[in-house]
Amino acid sequence: MRYDLNLLPVFLALMEERSVTRAAARLGITQPALSNALTRLRTMLMDPLFIRERYGMHPTPKAQELAPVIAAALAALDGVILGQQAFDPAKADLLLTIAPNSYVEFVLVPAIVARLRERAPGIRLRLTPYGSDLAETGVISGSTAMALGRFVDPPDNLVVQHLMDDGLACIVRAGHPQVGEVLSKAQYEQLRHVNMLPPGRLRVGLFQALERQGLKREVAVSVTHFLAIPEMVAVTDYCATLPRLICRHLAHDARLKVLPPPVDLGTFPVQMAWHVRYRDDPAHRWLRSLFDEVAKEVSAGA
């Protein structure tokens, strides 16, 4: 039997998105074109594959059985073809989608963009939101080139590479009436705090670190982006516990004071993850090496 290989990425997009509309948008085709491709898929694979339900499309048992096989086959094919291609970053003309969490977007992405401008001006980045569900980033299907953050129990089709480690520090306003040049445990527990909600795994890590050290914290307000915190701390007597590399940037703000935490809160890893199909892709390998290089420089204070 002859198989139309062009239909297989459509199958994987539908498996992840569970929606014709979203899958079409991800693949850059119209909704009617994707519906037509789904009809051909059903004929080719002799199964309905996806059943419409109230909140989306549910894969049939055969679709669930085929998904890992098709993903592995496409990954192997990509590896053979892409591994034979040369890559010249200075001449590359690419648009790459990456999914950094808000920490990586603040700490690493500006330096990465500057490095790309120097070495590969034709490579453009598109950032997509990084949430608690990796499937939503597109990295599991491979439509997103890379996700950056912290990964716990990643699926088997993702490769995870360690980039660097960071620790934690505290910020208060420079003229804080209760805090001098050292922040004691008693002061930390008496202060009210600004809490950073995302990224999810980092938030869990901070709560766990506080619990391990028996350190209590009264949260006055929770925010959804690091950029909101310095403005809030600068006009209140609140405290915030943030990654050290973010505090390094905030130390230049005369309104703020950066202090070590009253106890050792440990470190957390920063990682990048990508679909196995990109393992031998020359452009992707080059991009990974660039991210690794920039992370080492930033973490070392270069």
Per-residue pLDDT reduced to its tens digit, 211-231: 888 889 999 999 988 889 999
pLDDT value of residue 291: 96
Question: CA 294, CA 99: separation in Å to the nearest integer?
Answer: 17
Question: CA 175, CA 46: separation in Å to the nearest integer?
Answer: 71
- Does 141 have pLDDT greater than 80? no
- pLDDT band per the 50, 70, 90 thresholds, residue 16: confident
pLDDT value of residue 198: 62
Determine contact, residues 270/165, Cβ cutoff 8 Å.
yes
- Does 9 have pLDDT greater than 50? yes
Question: CA 148, CA 178: separation in Å to the nearest integer?
Answer: 38
Task: Enumerate long-range contacts of 223-228, CB under 8 Å, 24 or more apart.
Answer: 223/194, 223/195, 223/196, 223/197, 224/197, 224/198, 225/102, 225/198, 226/102, 226/103, 226/106, 226/196, 227/106
Does 282 sit behind a cis peptide bond, omega within 30 degrees of 0 on the bond before it?
Answer: no
Q: Smallest Cα–Cα separation from 40: which of 5, 69, 68, 73? A: 5
Residue bearing tokens 């993702």? 158
Q: What is the pLDDT of residues 236-291, one digit of tens each?
A: 999 999 999 999 999 999 999 999 999 999 999 999 999 888 887 889 999 999 99
Considering only residues 136 and 264, tell me which one the structure prediction assigns the higher pLDDT: 264
Top-confidence range, 36-45, 113-122, 152-161: 113-122
Residue bearing tokens 């009264």? 218
Considering only residues 4 and 123, tell me which one the structure prediction assigns the higher pLDDT: 123
The answer to whether the 5-82 and 94-165+269-300 domains have the same CATH topology is no
pLDDT value of residue 299: 93
Q: What is the pLDDT of residues 62-92, one digit of tens each?
A: 998 888 888 877 777 766 555 555 688 999 8
Which residue(s) pair with 194 in the sheet?
Answer: 221, 240
Question: CA 153, CA 158: separation in Å to the nearest integer?
Answer: 10
Considering only residues 74 and 189, tell me which one the structure prediction assigns the higher pLDDT: 189
- Does 301 have pLDDT greater than 60? yes
Domain-wise residue ranges, the chain = 5-82, 94-165+269-300, 168-266
Determine contact, residues 146/139, Cβ cutoff 8 Å.
yes
Percent of the chain with pLDDT over 90: 52
Q: Smallest Cα–Cα separation from 265: which of 190, 179, 205? A: 205
**Which DSSP category does 277 fall into?**
G
Instruction: Give Cα 4 distance to the centre of its chain.
Output: 33
Identity of the amino acid at 148: L
Q: What is the mean pLDDT of residues 82-109?
A: 85
Considering only residues 131 and 7, tell me which one the structure prediction assigns the higher pLDDT: 7
Q: What is the mean pLDDT of residues 12-33?
A: 84
Question: Exposed, middle or buried: residue 156 (CB in 10 Å: 0-12, 13-18, 19+)?
Answer: exposed
DSSP per-residue letters across 6-26? GGHHHHHHHHHH--HHHHHHH
- 3-state DSSP assignment of residue 154: coil
Domain 168-266 coded CATH 3.40.190.10: yes
Percent of the chain with pLDDT over 70: 92
Task: Work out the angle between the directed axes of helices 31-45 and 8-17 (0-180°, nearest 10).
Answer: 110
**Minimum mean pLDDT among 73-82, 174-183, 197-206: which range?**
197-206
Domain 94-165+269-300 coded CATH 3.40.190.10: yes
Domain 5-82 coded CATH 3.40.50.1100: no
- Does 201 have pLDDT greater than 60? no
pLDDT value of residue 200: 47
- Does 233 have pLDDT greater than 70? yes
- 3-state DSSP assignment of residue 51: strand
The pTM of this model reads: 0.71
Determine contact, residues 45/38, Cβ cutoff 8 Å.
no
